[in-house]
A = this chain, B = another copy of it.
Amino acid sequence: MSARGSLRIVGLGPAGEAWLTPEASDFIANASDLVGYGPYLQRVPCKDGQMRHESRNREEIDRARHALQLAEAGRRAVIVSGGDPGVFGMAAAVFEAIETGKPEWREIDVAVSPGITAMQAVAARAGAPLGHDFCAMSLSHNLKPWAVIEKRLAAAAAADFVIALYNPASAARGEGIFKALALLRSLKPADTPVVFARAAGRKEEEILIETLAATDPARADMSTLIIIGSSETRVIARDTGAPFVYTPRTARISR
């Protein structure tokens, strides 16, 4: 390696600067090179003397390799990711690139900066649905067989976890969320509370509190995150605002 380069993998959170950590801001401010998917890079203000390297969505592993090459060449590279890069984000792609790449890459100064991930933002807006044991799953079956997703959904229902579903649908794959909800409806009560959320924290934010029976999978898109309650999850009706949804810290024996 020439000059001592570094790679920081930074989470922008789900929206705006209110949820951007000071550590993430500092790493971005001190970067010589910013690497990221276009819409995330566009959330970062331009700064004199900083190089920007925009890439497309499906090229995560190439983006990771590009950033590692920059660090290897002595640059202070920062990969920006939405949410938390450690939760269905860029961090795993970087470590995969390191493991499968040049041996020298293992010795690069790499660090991850955590961020608020979508389920936390949605939970905060709705109340406290993640207040007790929960799981987080991606429904993207670009990266795993559908049989794995079904097995995990069934186990999550059996465990009575609150379930946060990431990537429920995209233009390329719309049917997964239909199958996932059908499976969960066969395993959980119809009146299980559901938080159906889009773009939490952004101006187009939409948070719907509904039931598992009423949830319409056709509404899901790339900005959607869905939280499905456990048997303990409760809804508090209010006169003057949207209901609160929360999962108590206590759990009885269920089923």
**CB of A247 within 8 Å of the partner chain:** yes
Interface residue from B114, B130, B135 paired with A134 (Cβ < 8 Å): B135
- Is B127 a contact of A112 with CB atoms below 8 Å? yes
Whether A102 sits at the interface, judged by CB under 8 Å, is: no
Give the complex CA separation of A131 and B151 in angstroms.
19
Residues of B within 8 A of A129 (CB): 86
Q: Contact string, A98-113, partner B, CB cutoff 8 A, digits 1/0?
A: 1100000011001111
Closest approach, in angstroms, between the C-beta of A19 and any C-beta of chain B? Answer: 5
Counting every copy of the chain, the complex holds 2
Name the contact of A249 in the complex, choosing from B96, B123, B241 (C-beta under 8 A). Answer: B96
A residues with CB within 8 A of B: 13, 17-23, 26, 60, 84-89, 91-96, 98-99, 106-107, 110-117, 120-121, 123-125, 127-138, 143-145, 147-148, 151-152, 155-156, 158-161, 234, 236-241, 244, 246-254
Besides the known contacts A86-B124, A106-B238, A135-B161, 20 further A-B residue pairs in the complex with CB atoms under 8 A apart = A19-B22, A20-B22, A85-B128, A87-B123, A91-B131, A93-B249, A99-B236, A107-B240, A112-B127, A112-B128, A114-B121, A134-B135, A134-B136, A143-B249, A143-B251, A144-B250, A145-B252, A148-B160, A152-B159, A155-B155
